[in-house]
A and B are shown apart, each in its own frame.
Chain A
Amino acid sequence: MPDWKKIVREELGSLPLSNGRKDEVVEELAQQLESAYEEAVAQGINEQEALRRSLEQFKDWEKLRGELFHSVEGTRLPVWEQKGLFSPRRWPVWAALGLALLFLAAPAFRQALAILPVPGSDPTASGPRIFSDRALRRLELSGDKQRYARALAFVALHSPKEDDLRAVNAAEKAIALDPQLTWIAAKVSHATYLYPGYDPHPWVERLKAWDPENAYPYILEADANIHSAWESRWAKYNAATPDLRQALAAEPGWREPMEKAFAAPRIDAYNTQTFALDRQVLQEQGLDRPDILIVNTWAQPIPDLTAMKMYAQILLRDVGASAEKAGHPEDALAAYRSVAQFGERLQVASASVVFMQDILANRLQQEACEKMLPVLRRQGRTQEASVVEGTLAGLVQADPAKKSWPSFSGEASRKRSARIVLFSGAFVMLLALVTAAWVIFLIALKWKPDLSRALNRLASALCVAPPLLLLACAVLFLGYYPYALPIAQYTSAQDLRQSFGPFIMNAYWSLDLQFSDVWLVRMFWPSVWGAVLALAAAVLLWLLARRQRPDDTRPA
């Protein structure tokens, strides 16, 4: 005769009832087995078959264990006693958590997490989000200590507005260590620096002496000359009014440097140098972050486009028009050519990186050509006129303002990727928090199993968090992977803007999406993709669950 109680105890395993109650349950189930066995034997069935039939009454002992506890205690088994597929005693849930954590080993995944914009903040703003005050101070101290000019130059370029003095000091030290970095003087040459007693002129002079053929220092000088005197007067004028043009033209401190700027053989806002410096310092700081690099290019100061536009209008509408009226077509053409040539130089300097600069460069050339054409025709210079006409047609066709802004944002695949990354990233964050809470609950319940029934129920329910976290991590990784280039692989700011820019801009813009934009139109394909992945995961889980519990509990 088998030891029925022993069989029941072994099959049931741990059943966290009070000792007396558990013994009663074991005894009662053992009697059920014994009675069925005895009855079978009494019917003439051999002992082996009788034993098999008796034991067949309880096929799924694990299910029985859970139901017995639930019936007696009125609640589910404590989470650490459960043996379901996603209970803490089984491997799938820990495997899912391990795999989710393993994603952190992938640089692309870490980069995807790092670039996620924080709702409520302005992700396109440089400054505190990227380098905190403390981080910049640490970088400056390290640059001072190691006498490393490029770190100091980085501090000079990226100090926030409220800390202009630090930027100026850092620039001074960086240039003293490496005069090749004198171009960073362009940053601190701005007349808008606020700290008391600041005078941009010495910086402008230093830049002019170092880079005399560049128009940029002259534009900075023009602004520096009138900034304080004109601060209250700017507000009086509409930027497009002839009054403002005339008033500015009457200011020699502004007009003369602008004249030199328009005559300078090139214009360079040091975009290339800034990009190289930013990339190098970010790499040295262990920040492989294309989003920071691209935001730095967005935040980079550009030459005063309003001043350039204003001076061009003075040449086109005042100087040129007056010369035409006075019967001096060559003087008029010289003024128009000056604007057209400046526009060309401005376009070259932009290198398609600064969108507004591209627009202005194109528009200045267009207007200059439009002014030149009738003058040339009146003079019978048809050959020159046809060249200008061809140039004008090309400019109209290439007008960047007629394209969507920015033109590459229309690429549907990048929009989808951006939304997938954004939404899966949000889920990764949320599920990581839930998983962390689950782990804390588990630890607490391991320490004290009867701590709280509600906590046990919650911990049981949250067992699905690690598998869901794994799914969200996989979606985030796959969504971001095509854009996960190390910053070292971007050859230029233009390259960065063209390949990474559309993706990150769509991700940032997604923060402002309306509900209907997200769910009804733009999220259609991402939703389909997410649903397919979820379905695949559900099928996988179902198959796993089937393997874990082969016993079927259909009615007899």
Chain B
Amino acid sequence: MMSDLILVVPELILVGMSLVLLLAARRIQGTRVAAFGTVLAAVAAVLGSSWVLSLGAKTGFGGIITLDNYTQFFNVLIAATLALATLLSVKSLEGIPRAEYHALLLLAATGMMIAVSAFDLLVLYLGLELMTLCSYILVGIRVDNPTSNEAALKYFLLGSFASALLIYGISLTYGVTGTTSFATIASTLSGHEAGSNVLLLVAMGLVAAGLAFKIAAVPLHSWAPDAYQGASAPIAAFLAAGSKAVGLAALGRVCLAAYHSEAQALSVVLTGLAGLSIIVGSVIALSQTDMKRMLAYSSISHAGYALLGLIAGTSEGVSAMMTYVFFYVFMTLGTFGIVVALGDRGESVEGYRGLAAQRPGTAMLMLVFLMSLTGIPPTAGFAAKFVVILSVVRGGHIGLAILAVACSVVSAFFYMRVAVNMYMNEAQEPAPSHFPKAVFAALAVAALVTLIGGITPGSLALWAVSP
């Protein structure tokens, strides 16, 4: 048992730090200790996770937790999301209990890490629940803000519904196979003829639906715009990047490790989710005037692009999804970072008018992130789009590939509207004040990953390897 504990070292570090913060809450309320501690814990978690993996990938706790390359990949991504979101939060902490805020971030990240290392449906469920419960509170943490409360309530109601779907799917799977462990599910199902058991198909559909909620894929997307709009920008960024990465990681793991024998049926479901998300996300984003809402719809369409990788059901496709998610996380954090940096002005699309004349550097950073979100080289967004479309074309779905790129032209419309506002319109508001160093550091990291990922598009190929 003790030897199993090292598999959860990263989680233990995060939980430990959150407990420390909670214990010391009264002493550190006015200081930056909490933020510092959170970033430190994120870095330590990555180091710990790398150290454990260097001892060899293995499964523990009776086969319900695994730490392999795949887990490590997403652990790094989650830690990066946590650290960057913490840095971005520095500016928007007024009136919020700092220690609790950071402790919740840490616990949400812990839940994420548990979910990506789960090798059992129930552990997966627990990890996701831990993440979502903390997220509900984080969305509504600005208690005196009515939109924030409304968003939290909506998110909570819809989230509970989705959790119910997921647990129902898990229980049906248990009914069919008599187990919740991925490995045993796979070995039980290998004897079955694919598509013969309707109950199993329903179970898979429900599990997929529950996970689709986490990544805000259409038709389970409706919480995202409200939650992002109501939450503070750093929390919206944390959800857009982290929740999505974890949902996709879990989906990838479940598809490959548990339900692989039913790949055909799954691919139909995923094709539907992906296609709808891409279309709905990019079309509805066109009419948005609130920046966070627009980014919410954009993140919905990005969820669709990432799902494209999973359709093929091959390990190549899964690594395409991993690459996409990796780059997506950084460009999204970067874009939200600009929103944070501009304060109130950054919240509406019109607020970007004339930014290039007032703050050329900030505008250029934003332009890079927007190019990346659109998928224009030489940014990471292009590399990401290239790999997922390659995997779709490999799977023979040319039509889907054309749909995806056509929607990326639609998305260019709303991304470039921000660019038009920044560069081609006159400013109507005074120049934004300079932003804190912490925000700058987060933006620099995001921009570096976005640019390096674009210049060396294959840089992730050796690392983004599916299990």
Partners in one complex: no
